[in-house]
Amino acid sequence: MLDFYGLSNLFATVTNLGIAFLVYTKGHNSKLARIWTLFTLCVAIYGFGGFMASGAKDYDSAFFWWRLSYVGVILLPAIFASFVYTFLETKRTFFLNTIYLVTAIVWLANIFSKTLFIGHVTLIFTDSKWFAPAWFVYPPGPLHIFHTVFLYFILLTYLFLRLVLAYKNADPLKRTQIKYFTIAMVLGFYGGGSSYLPCFGINIYPIANITVPLYTFLIAYAIIRHQLMNIEVIIKKTLVFAGLLASVFAILILPTLLIQEYILRGADTGSRMAGLAISGIIIIMSVRRIENFLINITDKYLFQKKYDYKELLKTFTAEVLTVLELDKLVNLTVNKLTDIIKLGSAAVLLFNEEKQHFNVVAAQNIKDSSVTLIRPDGIVTFMDETHGYVLMSELREKNISIPDSIQEIIDKLNAEIVIPMVLHEEVIGVLSLGKKKSDENYTQDDLDILLPLAKTLAIAISNAELFVKLGKTQAEAAQREKMAVIGTLSAGINHEICNPLGIARGQCEAFLLNLKDGLYKNKTSEELIEKAKSIMVKVIKETDRATAITKKLSGFAKPSKGEAEIIRIDKELDEVFGLVGYELRLEKIEFLKNIQKDISDLFVDKKQFQEILFNLIRNAGQAIGEKGRITITAREEGRKVYIDVQDTGSGIPEDKVKQLFNPFFTTKDPGKGTGLGLFIVRQVVEKNGGRIHLKDTKVGEGTTFRLEFPVPAREGLKVN
Amino acid sequence: MAKPRIVAIDDEPEFIDMIEGYFGLRGYEINVAVRGAKGIEVIKEKSPDVVLIDLKMPGIDGDEVLKLIKSMNPSPKVIFITAYDDGGKTRARLLKMGSYACLDKPIPSLRDLEATVNKAVSK
C-alpha cells in the first residue's frame, strides 16, 4: 500500500529546498526573495516532518516528527503575511507585529509544551485499501485549533482577499504576477491544509497535499516569466532544475520504498530508516557525480549570468560608440549586443535617403536581411509619431493584435523588440533585437538601458555618416589639389612631351621636304627605304617616350582606392621622381636618395603615399627655384620609419612657421599653389597612420620636413 | 648672297641630327653640338651667322650661351628652339636679352625655321 502522503511530503521537501536555494542565491538582495526563502524553508521543514511522521514506527516518534513539522508550519501564515504586505508595498506594521507576536507564542508553545499545541497523534487509515496507514495529529491541543482557525483559515483568506483586491488596480506585469502567485498559494495552502482534516476527525485521506510540491512550480514559473520577487538574475529553467532535483531524489528514494516494502516488510519507522540508510549510502557514494552533474546543468542553463549592464555600457562607450566607420559601427553594435545580452538575433536598419526606406545594414541571425521598412508601414508611422519602442511580449500581454503586415516584418527581422533610433526628432534608424537566448522576457531594466543606448547610437551613427561625407569632401579636395599641382608641373611635362614630338615631326618633315626638293635624286630606292626605316625607328622611339610620361601622369592623377597595402619606400620614391624629375632636372635641382638598407616596408595607401612624397618634393623644388639639392633620407628606428625631405631652398620665415599647416596658407605666387598643399598632406599622412612636422628650417639655407610612419607588424605581410 | 653659316646646340642628339641633315643638304654650312660648353667652343671657332640653341640643357644652358654670344663682336643672331613653355615669360625675357626669335618644339615647319634663319641674316 502506498504511503502517498509521506511521498507527497518528501517531494514537497525537495522542491521547496530547491526553490529556496535558487531564490536565495539569486536574489538575496531583494527583501521579497529573502522572505520567500524563509517561507519555502518552512514548507520544506513541514514536508520533511510530515514525511517522517506519517510512516513513523510508534507513537513517540510520530509525535516527535509532527512537532518538528509544525516548527515550520506555524510560521507559514505570518511569513506569508509579511510577503504579501511587502509585495503589495503596503505598510501595516501594527497588524503584522500582532501576527508575529501571536505566531511566536504558538511556535514557542509547540517547542516547550507537549499538550498545548499537538496534544496527541493517532494512526489513521489502517483499513484503507489504497493507502498505507499514517500518523496524524488527533485530537489536537487548544493552540493547534486556534492556529488552524485564526492564523490559517481566517488570516490566509484575508490575505488572499487583499491580493485579489490589489489585482484590480495593478499594472499589467504586476497583475500577472499576482495572478500566478495567488493561484499557487491557494493551491499550496488549501491543498496542504487537507492534512488538517484528520486533526478534526474528518478522515479523508489528504491526497490534496500533493499540491504542496506543485505550487513551487507555479511560483518558479512566475519568477521566470513575470519577474516575481524582483529577482534580478532571472533563473532560466528553474522548473527543469527543481524537477531534476526532485527526480534525482525520487530515484534515490525508490530503494527505500523497495527495501521497506519487500525486504523488511514493515511500514514502521525502523524499516523506513533502514531503507533511508541504504539510500543514504547510495547518495553519499554518488553525491559527487550528481553534484557535478547538477553544477554543469545549472551553470549551463540556470546560472547563465544575466548580462551585466555595466559591461554593456562600458563596451559601448569604449569600443563601439567611438567608431567613426559606419560599417564597422553598426556591425559592432549588432555583435556586441548579441554577445552581451545573449540575443538570438539582432539587426540595425538605417534610413536610405536615396531609396527612401529603412534597410538592414548589419544583422545577425535574421530571417530575411532584404527586408525594408517604408513610411506607410505601421511600424514606422508608430515610431515616427511616438518615438516609442515596440515590444512583442508587452503587446501579447495586453492582448493587442498585431496587423499581418507588421507581423511579417517582425518575423523577417526575428524581432522581439524594435527600438527607433531618434536624432533631432527624426527616426534615422531602427534597432531590432530578437528574443534572448534564455527565453526570458525583456524587463524594465533592459528597456532602461536599451532606450538611451538607441539614442546614443543615433548620435554615433550620424557622426559616422558625417565623417564619411567629410572624408569624401577631403578626398575631393585632395584630388583637386593634386590636379592643381599637376597643372604647375606642366612646364616640365610639356618639355618632356614636346621634345620627342619635335624630333618625330622634324625627322618626318625633313624626309618629305628632301624628297620634294629633289635632294634624294641621286639616291637609289634601297637607300631611300633604308633612310625611311631609320626615321621610322626614331619616330617610334620618340612616341614611346612621350607616351611613357602621359602614362605616369594619368596614373598619378587617378584618385586613390583608399586601401592600405604593403609598399617599398624606395620604389615609390622612384615612381614619384619619375614625374617630378623632369621639372627638377630642368631647374638643375639635384636629387639625392639616402635610404637605409633593409628598411621596413610600410602599410599605407600606395597612391596617397606617393601624393605625400610628390607634394613634399615639389614644394622643396619650388622653394629652391633653380639650382639646388633635394635630399630624401629614410631610416628606421624603434618600430618607426622616419623620412626626411630636405631642400637647399629659401627656408620658411619664423612668422610663417605656425601657419604652415593651415588651409589656404601659401607663400607661393598666385597660380603656383592653392595653399591646400601642406594642410592636405597632413590629413593624408594622418589618415595613413603617420605624422608630419617641420623638422628644421632656416631662411636662406633650406627646410626639412619629417614624416613618421609606424612599422607594420611583420607577420603575414609580404610585398607582392 | 652666300647662305648663312649655322651652329646648332641641342641636348637631344636625334633633334640636332635632323637639323644638321636638313640644312646640310640644302648647302648651308652647319656645325652642331649636344652640350652648351662644346657649343661655345664651336661658335668661337666658326663665328657663325646664326646660332640655334635649345634653352634647357644639362650643364651650361641656352641662357648662358646667349649671354656669351651677346658679348661677342660681331655677334651671331640667336634663335631659340625649345620645348620649355612657362606661359611666355621666358620667351619675353629671352627676346629682351637680344635673341632674334624663339620657336617652340615641335617646330611647325622646317621651312619656317629656314626662313627665319635667312631673315635673321638679311637685316
Residues 564-623 of A with CB under 8 A from B: 585-586, 588
Are A182 and A163 in contact by the 8 Å Cβ rule? The answer is: yes
Interface of B with A in 31-50 (CB under 8 A): none
- Quote the number of domains for chain A: 5
Same-domain pairing of A581 and A641 = yes
- Does residue A479 fall inside a structural domain? no
**A293 plus A171 within the same structural domain:** no
User: Which pLDDT score is estimated for A376?
Assistant: 72
Q: Name residues 338-357 of chain A within 8 A of B (Cβ).
A: none
Residue A535, pLDDT score: 92
At A718, the pLDDT band (50, 70, 90 cuts) reads very low
Residues A84 and A45 in one domain: yes
Asked if B46 contacts B88 with a C-beta cutoff of 8 angstroms, the reply is: no
B93 touches chain A (CB under 8 A): no
For the whole model, what pTM was predicted? Answer: 0.45
CATH number of the domain where residue A177 is located: 1.20.1070
Does residue B72 carry a pLDDT above 70?
yes
Average pLDDT of the residues of chain A: 82
Nearest to B21 among A495, A502, A510 (CB): A510
In order of A258, A594, A599, A674, A691, the CA distances from A612 in angstroms are: 90, 18, 19, 16, 11
Q: Which of B22, B58, B82 sits opposite A510 (nearest CB)?
A: B22
Distance CA A591, CA A580 (A): 10
Shared domain for A549 and A616, answered yes or no, is no
Decide the pairing of beta strands B50-53 and B6-9.
Answer: parallel
Query: What SS3 state is found at A140?
Result: coil
Same domain, A499 and A578: no
Minimal Cβ distance to B83: which of A502, A510, A538:
A502
- Please report which confidence band the pLDDT of residue A266 belongs to, taking 50, 70 and 90 as the band edges: low
pLDDT bucket at A260, cuts 50 / 70 / 90: low
Q: What is the pLDDT of residues A670-691, one digit of tens each?
A: 555 555 578 888 888 988 889 9
The DSSP 8-state label assigned to residue A418 in this structure reads E
Task: Report the residue of chain B nearest A496, measured CA to CA.
Answer: B83
Name the residue in chain B with its Cα closest to that of A519.
B25
Check B12 against A503: CB less than 8 A apart: yes
pLDDT band with cut points at 50, 70 and 90 for residue A306: low
Q: Residue A367 above 70 pLDDT? A: yes
| Residue at which a domain ends, from A279, A306, A333 | A306
For B11, the closest chain A residue by CA position comes to: A499
What phi and psi values does residue B58 have, to the nearest 5 degrees? -65, 150
Taking alpha carbons only, the member of A110, A104, A38, A98 closest to residue A69 is A110
Residue at A440 is within a domain: yes
Q: Residue A507 and residue B85: Cβ atoms within 8 Å?
A: no
A506 touches chain B (CB under 8 A): yes
- In terms of domains, do A114 and A256 share one? no
Q: Which of B14, B21, B85 sits opposite A491 (nearest CB)?
A: B85
Q: What is the pLDDT of residue A252?
A: 59
Cβ atoms of A660 and A682 within 8 Å: the answer is no
List % helix, strand, coil for chain A (3-state, nearest 5): 60, 15, 25
Residue A635 clears pLDDT 90, i.e. is over it = yes
Statement to judge: residues A37 and A88 lie in one domain: yes
B96 pLDDT more than 70: yes
* Mutation target vs B (from A488, A493, A495, A541; most B CBs, 10 A cutoff): A495
| Rounded average pLDDT over A461-476 | 82
pLDDT at residue A286 above 70?
Answer: no
Residue A395 located in a structural domain: yes
Note the Cα A646 to chain centre separation in Å.
51
Q: Do A513 and B22 touch (CB under 8 A)?
A: yes
Tell whether A321 and A297 lie within a shared domain.
no
Q: Say what the pLDDT of residue A232 is.
A: 43
Phi, psi of A59 (to 5 degrees): -60, -45
Looking at chain A, the whole-number percentage of residues with pLDDT higher than 90 is: 21
Q: What is the pLDDT of residues A316-328, one digit of tens each?
A: 888 888 888 888 8
The shortest CB-CB distance from A491 to any of B19, B84, B107 is to B84
Q: Which of A306, A330, A347 is the last residue of a domain?
A: A306
**According to the model, what pLDDT value does residue B123 have?**
63
pLDDT band for position A488 (cuts 50, 70, 90): low
Residues of A in contact with B109 (CB under 8 A): 509
In this predicted model, what pLDDT tens digit does every residue of A410-448 receive, in sequence order? 888 889 999 999 888 888 899 999 988 766 788 888 888
Establish if A30 belongs to a structural domain: yes
- Rounded CA-CA distance A215/A36 in Å is 13
| Pair (A198, A276) in one structural domain | no
- Interface check B80 vs A, CB under 8 A: no
Q: How many CB pairs below 8 Å do chains A and B form together?
A: 70
Q: At A694, is the secondary structure helix, strand, or coil?
A: strand
The answer to whether residue A470 neighbours chain B at the CB level (below 8 Å) is no
A505 has a chain B CB within 8 A of its CB: yes
Name every chain A residue with its beta carbon within 8 A of the beta carbon of B82. Answer: 495
Residue A477 lies inside a defined structural domain of this protein: no
pLDDT tens profile A96-152: 899 999 999 999 998 888 888 888 888 888 887 778 888 888 888 888 989 988 888
In sequence order, the 6+-apart residues with CB closer than 8 A to the CB of A421 are A427, A428, A429, A430, A431, A454, A455, A457, A458, A461
Residue A292 has pLDDT above 70, yes or no: no
Q: Does residue A70 belong to any structural domain of this protein?
A: yes
Give the residue from chain A lying closest to B114, CA to CA: A510
CB contact under 8 A, B106 and A514: no
Question: Does the beta-carbon distance from B84 to A495 stay under 8 Å?
Answer: yes
In chain B, the residue whose alpha carbon lies closest to the alpha carbon of A498 is B83
Phi and psi at residue A261, to the nearest 5°: -80, -45
A243/A233 Cα distance (integer angstroms) = 20
Q: Which chain A residues contact residue B105 at CB under 8 A? A: 498-499, 501-502
Question: Would an 8 Å CB–CB cutoff place B21 in contact with chain A?
Answer: yes
How many whole angstroms separate alpha carbon A109 and alpha carbon A107? 5
Q: Look at residues A76, A31, A179, A211 and name the one whose alpha carbon lies nearest to residue A23.
A: A31
Instruction: Enumerate the residues of chain A whose CB falls inside 8 A of the CB of residue B19.
Output: 506
B27 touches chain A (CB under 8 A): no
Residue A230 has pLDDT above 60, yes or no: no
- Do A632 and A676 lie in one domain? The reply is yes
Q: Which of A231, A254, A288 is the last residue of a domain?
A: A231
Q: Helix, strand, or coil here: A363?
A: strand
Query: Taking CB atoms and an 8 Å limit, are A499 and B58 in contact across chains?
Result: no
Q: Who among A496, A513, A538 is closest to B14 (CB)?
A: A538
Same domain membership, residue A239 and residue A174: no
Chain A touched by B107 (CB under 8 Å): yes
Higher-pLDDT residue of B12, A309: B12
A530 lies in which domain range?
489-558
ipTM: 0.90
Measured between CA atoms, how close is B56 to chain A, in angstroms? 6
Gap between the terminal Cα atoms of chain A: 87
B-chain residues near A503 (CB < 8 A): 12, 14-15, 18, 106
**Residue-level pLDDT at A5:** 84
Task: Identify the CATH number of the domain in which residue A316 sits.
Answer: 3.30.450.40
Q: Let me know if residue A75 belongs to a domain.
A: yes
- Measured between CB atoms, does B88 come within 8 Å of chain A? no
Q: How many helices (H) and strands (E) does chain B have?
A: 5, 5
Q: Which helix (H) or strand (E) holds A695?
A: strand A691-698
Of A164-173, A273-282, A570-579, A622-631, where does mean pLDDT reach its minimum? A273-282
Query: What is residue A593's DSSP assignment?
Result: E
* In a shared domain, residues A157 and A117: yes
Q: Is residue A299 part of a domain?
A: yes
CATH number for the domain including A672? 3.30.565.10
